[in-house]
């Protein structure tokens, strides 16, 4: 896959403020006349949005089936949106990607690492983010900020969310060159500046 653009992913637990940071980064990039494509997981394609509804608001299923459903939605998003945009040289800003699968399905649900890795490889064809921004905060604070549980994941116990957080932090610690870890409780504008300082030097030069 020839990727000429820049692929930046925002990760974190519930109530971390990812979507605000995606919008603020998109605003800065558009002010520079860059082509910006924003997306969120699960979803971002008609097929993926249908899977999203089942995953977040359906009855629930086995952890293995859940892993494959997230992966199917991701394959559609990569094929239909992300890879074409990167091929055009765009800046792609995505709210969640593969690190969420490791954090939620592996650390949270307890699926084997090898199985999760295999599903990720299948869904992405090896496409990896250039930069992953982790908006980190204690789950109790995040859940409080998110308000009343609005989907199956938010309704999980605190212990689940603690494992998810540990999963994100472990991934960032393993690959510091591709991660920016920020305190999600900092003011949104300060976070946006820190994010932009990490994106700017990575932008493709024409």
Q: Which of 21, 100, 106, 132 binds ligand TYD (CB under 6 A)?
A: 100
Q: Which of 22, 25, 70, 78 binds ligand TYD (CB under 6 A)?
A: 70
139 lies in the binding site for ligand TYD (CB under 6 A)? no
Closest of 135, 121, 132 to residue 178, by C-alpha: 132
Closest of 106, 77, 116, 117 to residue 94, by C-alpha: 77
Q: Which of 5, 24, 41, 92 binds ligand TYD (CB under 6 A)?
A: 41
Least distance in angstroms from the C-beta of 157 to ligand TYD: 13
Least distance in angstroms from the C-beta of 32 to ligand TYD: 26
Edge to edge, the sheet with strand 36-40 lists 36-40, 91-95, 6-11, 131-136, 179-183
Closest to ligand TYD by CB, 31 vs 114, is 114
Size of the chain, expressed as the number of residues it contains: 206
Least distance in angstroms from the C-beta of 132 to ligand TYD: 13
Task: Tell me the Cα Rg of the chain.
Answer: 16
Q: Do the strands 6-11 and 179-183 form a parallel or antiparallel pair, or are they unpaired?
A: unpaired
Least distance in angstroms from the C-beta of 90 to ligand TYD: 21
How far apart are alpha carbons 197 and 192 in whole angstroms?
9
48 lies in the binding site for ligand TYD (CB under 6 A)? no
124 lies in the binding site for ligand TYD (CB under 6 A)? no
Least distance in angstroms from the C-beta of 111 to ligand TYD: 11
Least distance in angstroms from the C-beta of 41 to ligand TYD: 4
Q: Which of 91, 96, 130, 180 binds ligand TYD (CB under 6 A)?
A: 96
Burial 70-85 (b: 16+ CB within 10 A, else e): bbbbbbbbbeebbbeb
List the end-to-end C-alpha distance of the chain, in Å, as a whole number: 19
Which residues 152-181 are close enough to bind ligand TYD by CB under 6 A? 153
- If DSSP codes are grouped into helix, strand and coil, which group holds residue 156? coil
11 lies in the binding site for ligand TYD (CB under 6 A)? no
Q: Which of 24, 83, 104, 182 binds ligand TYD (CB under 6 A)?
A: 104
The size of the interface with ligand TYD (CB under 6 A), counted in residues, is 15
């Amino acid at each position: 896959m020839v990727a000429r653009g820049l692929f930046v992913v925002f990760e974190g637990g519930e109530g971390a403020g990812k979507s605000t940071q995606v919008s603020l980064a998109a605003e800065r990039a558009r002010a520079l006349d860059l082509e910006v494509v924003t997306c969120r997981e699960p979803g971002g394609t008609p097929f993926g949005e249908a899977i999203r509804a089942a995953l977040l608001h359906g009855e629930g299923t086995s952890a293995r089936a859940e892993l494959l459903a997230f992966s199917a939605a991701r394959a559609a998003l990569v094929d239909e949106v992300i890879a074409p945009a990167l091929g055009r040289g765009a800046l792609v800003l995505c709210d969640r990607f593969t690190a969420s699968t490791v954090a939620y399905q592996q650390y949270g649900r307890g699926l084997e690492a090898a199985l999760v890795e295999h599903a990720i490889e299948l869904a992405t064809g090896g496409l990896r983010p250039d930069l992953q921004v982790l908006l980190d905060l204690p789950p109790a604070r995040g859940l409080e900020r998110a308000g009343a549980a609005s989907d199956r994941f938010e309704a999980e116990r605190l212990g689940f969310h603690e494992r998810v957080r540990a999963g994100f932090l472990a991934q960032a610690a393993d690959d510091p060159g591709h991660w920016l870890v920020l305190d999600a409780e900092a003011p949104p504008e300060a976070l946006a500046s820190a994010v932009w300082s990490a994106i700017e030097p990575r932008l493709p030069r024409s």
